[in-house]
A and B are shown apart, each in its own frame.
Chain A
Amino acid sequence: MRIVEHPILDELDTSKKVTIYCDGQPIEALEGEPVASALMNAGIRSFRTTQKRKEKRGIFCAIGRCTDCMMIVDGVPNTRTCVTIVRDGMQVKTQEGLGSFEEKKGEDK
């Protein structure tokens, strides 16, 4: 959920929007925000699964340190979505295990 009005901070400017795709589904994002924040706003909390136990993982540190939020972004696996800024038309995929660059095949830019 977006925090538009805030008691301390200025009202959030939501005028500049872009669209990214998460596992094929269009998601509205704000220009300049990280992928993780757009996904969290869309209610998506599971970003990847672990290699051995296939457990779901989401955002933990949100500053690019813990690597729990890694996904396949525009074909590149292990991309830290909390420090990767959205781009219109960006393709984001849930990463299974270690991920693979093969995902790049068939991607339309």
Chain B
Amino acid sequence: MKIKEVDVAVVGAGSAGLSAAYQAASAGAKVLVLDENHRPGGQLFKQIHKFFGSRAHQAGTRGFVIGQHLLDRVQESGAEVWLDTLVYGMQKDCALGVIHEGQHWVVKAKKVIVATGAKENYLAFPGSTLPGVMGAGAAQTMINVNRVLPGQRVLMLGSGNVGLIVSYQLMQAGAEVVALVEAAPNIGGYGVHAGKIRRAGVPVYVSHTIKEIRGKDQVEQVEIVQVDSKFQPVPGTEQVFDVDTVCLAVGLNPMTELIWMAGCEFCFIPAFGGHVPLHDENMETTVPGLYVAGDVTGVEEASSAMEEGNLAGVSAAQALGLLTQEEAEAKKGEIRARLDILRSGMFGEKRRTAKLSQLKSMEEYQLKKGGAV
């Protein structure tokens, strides 16, 4: 077993992790980024649509271009990146158990930033395990990263931004989207995305859900049914579509396994996808020296993840004495202002409220503990 000692270890080379690594390394910290994947960038490289927000959020730029910029910046900053590297555990002192190039390592870092992201939710119904049923994000990875079409005729369940965007991107890749099904009475995602798929002629069935998927060894047919105001099926409203693929876009949940191991305190916020770690305004958790950033702190979107990564990276560098208080506060002020904008408006408000309640839970925890952590 080998030992690697660094100032800052970052778990996850996605939007948040790369941003954190860039900030910490730019301030002069010795940074090591660990990621299980063959390529860095997390889920950024499958985002081929243009991002929202203002110019400060790189709005109007496609996700994979933002990803490339981020990679370039990290490379210039001098942070080391280990790919094909599995982080299988974390001890109470935040030492990381790592398998890198077939060898076991213990990575000891003065500060650890966990940016492990989120995974897709699953929904159980008859036939939901048949080959051909997959996460919408999985289909997006297949078409935009691996460049393989998962099927010719697709039904999408869920009309949040993921469901809307992936439906459109499936069409760009050459598939036919036969229907978009949503249990709620309204479309969940942005109007601009919904408009695109409506103009493309995709029928949208709100107040509907999947009753059953049929097929011998794979998806052949899907039956949908209308639901009433209590989400109960309305008999006699069934419709059947011949499809080879069904995509589930029914939300995501944070991948918090590592931070549970470290003994972090959590709270439960449904709007963030479930149990999320308590953290303060510097992204530090209840375990001193352990920071979190991005979807693992609550499912939002890539721009917020990058800003949280920036915040964690600056905070870690400050705690290491690499930035003066004035330098750090100036940077953090700018980052927090950008985060506030991302968490505003009709869609951002819910996330802003959720984040405030998460920060409040942290304050309560600290008070109970008797002062600052």
Contact = CB atoms under 8 A, between A and B. Distances in A.
Interface in B149-203: 149-150, 152, 172-174
Contacts of A61: 119-120, 134-135, 137-138
B37 interface: yes
Interface stretch (B125-133, B290-298, B331-339): B125-133
A79 to B, nearest CB: 13
Contacts of B367: none
A1 B149 contact: yes
Contact of A3 (B62, B133, B173): B173
A46 B142 CA distance: 16
A63 B173 contact: no
Contacts of B37: 63-64, 83
Interface of chain A, main secondary structure? loop
Contacts of B133: 60
A87 interface: no
Interface in A82-96: 82-83, 85
Interface in A1-54: 1-4, 6-9, 12, 32-34, 36-37, 40-41, 45-47
B62 A8 contact: yes
A97 interface: no
B70 interface: no
Contacts of A66: 119, 122
Nearest to B244: A45
A76 interface: no
Contacts of B138: 59-63, 82
Interface size class, chain A:
20 to 34
B131 A62 contact: no
A7 B62 CA distance: 13
Interface of B: 36-38, 43, 48, 62, 64, 119-120, 122, 129-135, 137-139, 141-144, 146-150, 152, 172-174, 217-218, 255
B146 A58 contact: no
Nearest to B218: A45
29 contacts: A1-B149, A2-B148, A3-B173, A7-B172, A9-B48, A9-B64, A34-B38, A36-B146, A37-B146, A45-B132, A46-B131, A46-B218, A55-B129, A56-B217, A58-B130, A58-B132, A58-B134, A59-B138, A59-B142, A60-B134, A60-B138, A61-B120, A61-B134, A61-B137, A62-B142, A65-B119, A82-B138, A83-B36, A85-B38
Contact of B218 (A8, A9, A34, A58): A58
B131 A2 contact: no
Given A57-B129, A65-B119, A3 B147 contact: yes
Contacts of B135: 60-62
Contacts of A60: 120, 122, 133-135, 138
B120 A34 contact: no
Contacts of A83: 36-38
A64 B38 CA distance: 11
Given A37-B142, A62-B142, A83-B37, 12 more contacts: A3-B148, A3-B149, A3-B173, A9-B48, A12-B147, A37-B147, A37-B148, A56-B131, A57-B131, A60-B135, A63-B141, A65-B255
Nearest to A41: B148
A1 to B, nearest CB: 4
A109 to B, nearest CB: 17
A45 B131 contact: yes
Most buried by A among B43, B129, B149, B217: B129
Contacts of B36: 64, 83
Contact of A33 (B134, B146, B149, B218): B146
A9 B144 contact: yes
A56 B130 contact: yes
Most buried by A among B135, B138, B141: B138
Most buried by B among A4, A36, A62, A65: A62
Nearest to A45: B131
Contacts of B141: 62-63
